[in-house]
Chains A and B, each alone.
Chain A
Amino acid sequence: MPRRDDIHTILILGSGPIVIGQGCEFDYSGTQACKALQEEGYRVVLVNSNPATIMTDPAFSDRTYIEPITADAVRRVIEKERERGTPIDALLPTIGGQTALNCACELEENGTLEDLDVRMIGASREIIHRAEDRHVFRGIVEELGLKMPKAKTVNTVEDGFEFLEEIGLPAILRPAFTLGGSGGGVAYNRAEFEDLLRRGLSASRINQVQIDESALGWKEYELEVVRDRNDNCVVVCGIENIDPMGVHTGDSITVAPILTLTDREYQVMRDAALDILRAVGVDTGGSNVQFAIDPQSGEMIVIEMNPRVSRSSALASKATGFPIARIAAKLAVGYTLDELRNDITGTTSACFEPSIDYVVTKMPRWTFEKFPEADETLTTQMKSVGEAMSIGRTFKESFQKAIRSMEVKRFGFGLDENDRWLKERRQQDGEQWPIDEETISRKLSVPCQGRMYYIRYALKAGWTADRIHELTGIDPWFIDQFAQLVEFEQELLAVDSLDALPVETFRAAKQMGYSDPQLACLYLGSIHTDTILQVRSRRKALGIEPVYKLVDTCAAEFEAITPYYYSTYEHPFEVDGELVRDDEIRVTDRKKIVILGGGPNRIGQGIEFDYCCCQASFACGEVGFESVMINSNPETVSTDYDTSDLLFFEPLTLEDTLNILERLNGGGIEIEGRTGEVLGCIVQFGGQTPLNLAHGLARAGVPIIGTGLDSIDAAEDRDRFKAILDELGLQQPESGIAYSMEEARGIAAKIGYPVLVRPSYVLGGRGMEICFDEEALARYMRNAVDVSELANAPVLIDRFLSEAIEVDIDVLADYRPHADTLCHQLEMSDEQPQAVICGIMEHIEEAGVHSGDSSCTIPTNTLSKAIVAQIEDNARQLAQRLSVRGLMNVQMAIKDDTIYVIEVNPRASRTVPFVAKAKGVPYARLAAKVMMGHSLASLEIKKRPETTFFAVKEPIFPFEKFPGVDVVLGPEMRSTGEVMGADRSLPIALAKAKMAVGQSLPIEGDVFISVRDSDKPGLIETARSLVSMGFTVHTTLGTHELLASHSIETSLIRKISEGARPNILDRLANGEIDLIINTPTRKGGETDEGRIRAMAVRCRVPMITTMTGARAAVQAIAALRAGSWSVSAMQDIYPDLARPATAPPEVPTPWLNTMSSGS
């Protein structure tokens, strides 16, 4: 059955902003789906509010709507396409995660799809319901003779407690229709039970929570299944969770293939997964089914299924090479699996089950350091923000590679600088070892980040594998693998110097995944570029080098054509008397550019940088160079096998990247007679991760293309940067460095409060705070800083520019980089160097909120033309002075018409994709070309008028996943993702941005206002507007009286602390408040205001926490009330982005014709 020709235009819904539980894996699946449908000749209409995605690059769809993924907005998109004469006939809802699925269901339920003649493909409303309604699903599963844990779906707290009597504690709670298990968890006592139940009921779209009997300690598995309309089913990948039941799959360390099941057990699970898919009725596409197995009896239970592609299907695709989303898209338009080709081999069928001849480990990445008040225990609600994947031939190798992929200053399973056992051995810190039994016991039994290190400590302390198994529930096979590593440490420890390490032991260490840094730490005392390179040169002298093997879907059964590699240290064998190791890399003689990716997502470094890296890869193709991608993040587009010419799925460490660079370059970097053609490396696009490697790479002789490292350093070095600003006559907020408490007081007094304080050497605003008075400063110095270390790690104190307007400027320039790291093989055009302003983003929140957490607009809207011109001029000066070749980001603050430079980063910044989408210009791609030698003049960059179109960037926060954390914006970044609201009217653009983060502004109803005293004068106009629009405004006494004195009537609400009920918390819980305006006094989460904010998050009431934000919101509300708003595709705004129409392919099943028959 070839492609359907009764449909022409397909609507794809993305997943919107990156949140915990819904990350950039849906950009990966969405991009694949867009490409797959376009190559079949369909018109693709895309709706996604996330500008940082690759899929919203206008090249990937015919009509790119960066609009909210709400039923309302999507309806307008469908209507608009109809009016344009290009009606949408099908909606593919299974590619954009839970967000897309929920939106599609709503469109079906409210009749939109029927009214507008759009049918769902991939999954119908009925199928989604059967899979997601837990009651219906249970019926289906039990009908098949399969078991589920005893469970009940409840809609009220009372029913919940009644069922608890039946099953007892602990119990697992899961709200229906939420992503990442949001609002769910494990309850060990009645208080926790009630808390989770209430939270879950309000988080669920249909007020439904399932309470499950706990299968804690059972082994957990997941099968990724694909089915087509002819009922062909294949299991693409089986994934085993190392962490047993009780920890969300997204928070578990997982491996593929399944390692501890017999075939008998596995096949029963496979049958069950297929039966469930058939019974639920998933016609086409990918689904996953989760199971648990009792390790004592082998009894199997079904946990759940998702009738769509998911985070684990992205993982399964990267782990096997089988592109699930791409195949799912093709199946949705009518193909069957056997008509599709396995693109990895190019000659075999896509209707097969991949076999894996390596071990894949996925490790989650958490950012608890950003939420110190949050509970770090891992439960059924996902808390991680990203993940890394690693590939090794054995579990031990793969596992240690996964650890060093995490970029958390761990270089393997112990023996690094954070190894408490090793520290004690060296008597650096007598407090650390032995760790008392109780601590180990607790760390093993309560799942948490870093539990694996405690397993090692337990083994080191002589605990038996049985005891560890009992406490952790982890399968004994894995514990034995850990034990093997611990035992091998003895062999390493028995040697006292690197030179004395026998070659066999050295090789064995590498085969078990030990990194050069671990050996550097062990034998050379520390982990630095020098010591790492020292181990490296010793290793190479002994002839111990990695080989590269292919991920080929078929365990070498067929030849693979896609160059998707991983490194491993393999056993040598003899060929014609010589020892060889099998290396499958195919090095061409084409010139190559190596792009270092961003590694696991975390707060402050996410999809934006993957967007930049992919653009760099596309630029290579356009310039005619071979692109080489190195990354460890399975969720990304950059690690798709067809994004770059060569893909290396590897940890982003100096050792691993140098290995690849040298191998591609014919054995070394600056060596005689090298045969490779590596021109250089791009380190400026992947965020902090590759930048951290840049110096080490440069030391090893790797040419870095684009802006030189010295410029990047100059911008980060306080003194050098100050000198540059002085030279250019630019201003900076006054500042000082304090090496003691007294100095801190003195500096603050001199520059005046409020002051911005932070430890030196931090990233992403970590540990940064604004102190309004000396008392706050003293508190900060006491709590946040290690005072004894002040001499080595001083505190930076800046004048805080209160009520200043902050701007971000992205600049693209083509100056000649400094010679230090210049790539000499690259012809660098430097005629008429210049700097182009990509965009100026004006923050809506005033200075003091981390730029990643602020909303901002393009173009600016409150700054005068003269100031804007001066900002541009200053930014250009900086670019020239720093010899920027590529991208640069500048942050400035404007107060009283004076421009202060806050920060300069001569590299791709988080805002680049937003600017690119707002302006319709692929700045990252252009920048990459400039770095590869092109001049800006030759690229003819489009000038965009500043006035016709507004784009608003709005961040989204994970507060609802971390109950107890105060919802306050500050200098420390805490948002996980962002959306773009775009419109010809600024207020509507703002309103759209709010819709897109799920905080739709009300156009009528009740508003609660509570602001700090300093904001009260600014409040009057805001309150007046709200009242005049018919809102009921609720205030507490002080505000009430102030507003009354300006003849603004508000409803008085008693403070919580006064004890009167119903108080504001009750009103919030009852859904009586539609909007909150609350500017925090920063006194913590335990105050009235802290509790209000927490309740607002829990009840999902939109909340605005700055006065500028409030003023903007009022304008937006007024605009929404004034009448209809419309949606626009990027191609409407910038007609030059429209793609030429594609013709359907002539050969519907291309591979069948090229296949040999009957060989």
Chain B
Amino acid sequence: MTGYQEALTDPSYRGQILVMTATQMGNYGVNEIDVESAVPQVAGFVVRESSRMDSNYRSESMLAPWLARHGIPFLSDIDTRALVRRLRVNGAMRGVITTDPTLSNQELIEQVRTSPSMGGRNLAAEASSDTAGSWSEGLVRIPPTPPRDRRETTVKRVVAIDCGAKRNIYRHLVERNCEVRFLPWNCSAEEVRALEPDGLFVSNGPGDPAAVEPLIEVLKEIAGEVPTFGICLGHQLLALALGATTWKLPFGHRGANQPVRNIETGQVEITSQNHGFCVDEASLKAQDCLMTHVHLNDQTVAGFRHASKPIFAVQYHPESSPGPHDAAYLFDQFVAMMHGDTGKVDSRRGPNKASKAVKA
């Protein structure tokens, strides 16, 4: 039910129409803080009912005018469950939202058919920042939560390749005493090396991984030179760079309630997910990679690491936002690798032990 603002500003949704099954949207308004990028990224937003008021002490605007301000088509009073039932059977498909009532159904369908499909489209290029930069803001502690015990004493520099990164990923890294420097998706291996990173991060982003060909080439060269971590699209790109293949799921994984089993601990994390493509398990194993995480509902690959190189990645979103914080330990794992650990941070939560992982 919660988290619409984070989802709307998630660059991984770029170019897509987001349909919400939760029926009451906009209840707590929007604010300047709960965003994953500077602006809403979706191509359209479809809901059952939109709130005409915003009830939250942090709200700065109501949802509808905020979307309007950013030129995002917002459609309410739609039976979104009916829509999702069709998407479930037919798979995600292209669509059109129009304000022109004179257009016939045929004309609209024609518009849809001529619109570009996700497959083969490099949306990461659109979602990525155009220039290099850095990030220095840590996790937002609203409402106030207990401060985290800092285990990292020395600063590690992470170079993040931005394919449409969510801000919360960077916040998690800064929280762990990392210096975050990001580069656009089309950076070169030299540009990465020039920054002398302690760790390399490949971000999430929208669309078909195979279309981000130049970056795959760069990753082939540099992945694993330093500890390397990928999330979502980054996971797929690292897999492709290592020689594995990807395929399109009939019905993508979305939402904040997807169970993933950590194969090494046997424990299950409830995760945020947003992906329509998926890494092929057999091709991954053929490239000397181990599956570390599996999607519980369909047994597809949710995470892997390389058997000998310091590379690991997950298909889901450990930075959550929106969603549960169960998988935040992966950032600890990445930072520990940079500190020379083999990457085997104890991620077992263990019974009767409060999780000390970072939350927010």
Using a CB–CB distance below 8 Å, which chain A residues touch chain B? 143-146, 229-232, 234-235, 238, 257-268, 270-271, 274-275, 278-279, 281, 283, 293, 295-300, 336-338, 347-349, 351-359, 393-395, 475-477, 480, 484, 549, 555-559, 570-574, 577, 581-582, 584, 1155-1159
Contacts and interface: CB of A to CB of B under 8 A. Distances in A.
Given A279-B352, A283-B351, A357-B23, A352 B88 contact: no
Contacts of A264: 34, 140, 142-143, 360
Given A297-B143, A393-B23, 11 more contacts: A259-B1, A262-B58, A263-B321, A278-B353, A298-B143, A352-B259, A353-B270, A555-B81, A584-B85, A1158-B300, A1159-B299
Nearest to A296: B57
Interface in B296-350: 296-300, 320-325, 348-350
A666 B23 CA distance: 29
B224 interface: no
B190 interface: no
Contact of A281 (B82, B255, B352): B352
Interface string B55-92: 11110000000000000000001111110110010000
A270 B81 contact: no
A520 B55 CA distance: 35
A123 to B, nearest CB: 13
Contacts of A145: 145-146
Given A144-B354, A299-B144, A571-B78, A260 B258 contact: no
Contacts of B145: 145, 268, 271
Contact of A477 (B51, B320, B354): B51
B324 A352 contact: no
Given A230-B266, A283-B351, A355-B22, A268 B143 contact: yes
B27 interface: yes
B270 A299 contact: no
A235 B1 CA distance: 13
Given A275-B354, A338-B296, A1155-B299, A263 B6 contact: yes
B220 interface: no
B255 A258 contact: no
A299 B49 contact: no
Top 3 nearest A-B pairs (CB, nearest first) are A145-B146, A582-B82, A263-B3
Contacts of A582: 79, 81-82, 85
A584 B89 CA distance: 14
A358 B266 contact: no
B354 A555 contact: no
A573 B52 CA distance: 23
Contacts of B321: 263
Interface string B167-191: 0000000000000000000000000
A86 to B, nearest CB: 32
A172 to B, nearest CB: 22
Interface in B195-230: none
Contact of B268 (A229, A268, A281, A351): A351
14 contacts: A145-B145, A230-B267, A232-B267, A238-B1, A259-B1, A270-B324, A278-B355, A353-B256, A475-B55, A549-B81, A555-B22, A556-B81, A557-B88, A1156-B298
B257 A354 contact: yes
B2 A281 contact: no
B166 interface: no
Nearest to A269: B143
B143 A355 contact: no
B97 interface: no
Interface of B: 1-3, 5-6, 21-24, 27-28, 34, 48-49, 51-53, 55-58, 77-82, 84-85, 88, 105, 140, 142-146, 250-251, 255-259, 261, 266-268, 270, 281, 296-300, 320-325, 348-355, 359-360
A355 B255 contact: yes
Contacts of B105: 574, 577
A1047 to B, nearest CB: 67
A260 B142 contact: no
B266 A279 contact: no
Nearest to B355: A275
Nearest to A580: B82
B77 A351 contact: no
A257 B1 contact: yes
A1158 B23 contact: no
A1156 B23 CA distance: 31
User: Which of A145, A557, A559 has the most CB atoms of chain B within a 10 A radius of its CB?
Assistant: A557
Contacts of A144: 146, 354
A266 B321 CA distance: 11
Contact of A262 (B28, B266, B355): B28
B143 A300 contact: yes
B90 to A, nearest CB: 13
B299 A1157 contact: yes
Given A297-B57, A349-B296, A265 B143 contact: yes
A259 B270 CA distance: 21
A349 B259 contact: yes
A265 B55 CA distance: 13
B49 A1159 contact: no
Nearest to B353: A278
Contacts of A297: 57, 143
B24 A295 contact: no
Nearest to B254: A557
B250 A1159 contact: yes
B268 A232 contact: yes
B258 A352 contact: yes
Contacts of A1158: 281, 298-300
B297 A349 contact: yes
A229 B77 CA distance: 44
Contacts of B250: 1159
Nearest to A508: B77
Contacts of B348: 231
Nearest to B257: A353
Contacts of A270: 324-325
User: Which of B105, B142, B270, B354 has the most CB atoms of chain A within a 10 A radius of its CB?
Assistant: B354
B2 A394 contact: no
Given A232-B268, A295-B57, A352 B349 contact: no
Given A582-B82, A1155-B299, A262 B144 contact: no
Contacts of A572: 79
Contacts of B51: 477, 480
B351 A279 contact: no
Contact of B320 (A267, A279, A353): A267
A297 B56 CA distance: 10
Nearest to A554: B257
Contacts of B27: 259-260, 477
A994 B150 CA distance: 60
A353 to B, nearest CB: 4
A263 B322 contact: yes
A556 B85 contact: yes
Given A349-B259, A476-B53, A261 B2 contact: yes
A338 B79 contact: no
User: Which of B140, B255, B320 has the most CB atoms of chain A within a 10 A radius of its CB?
Assistant: B255
A298 B350 CA distance: 30
A574 B251 CA distance: 23
Contacts of A281: 351-352
Contact of B84 (A337, A356, A556): A556
Given A260-B27, A281-B351, A351-B296, A394 B48 contact: yes
A632 B297 CA distance: 32
A557 B84 contact: yes
Given A271-B359, A573-B82, A395 B24 contact: yes
Contacts of A557: 21, 84, 88, 251, 255
A476 B144 CA distance: 23
User: Which of A231, A275, A278, A574 has the most CB atoms of chain B within a 10 A radius of its CB?
Assistant: A231
A166 B258 CA distance: 47
A354 B22 CA distance: 12
Contacts of B360: 264, 268
A356 B48 CA distance: 13
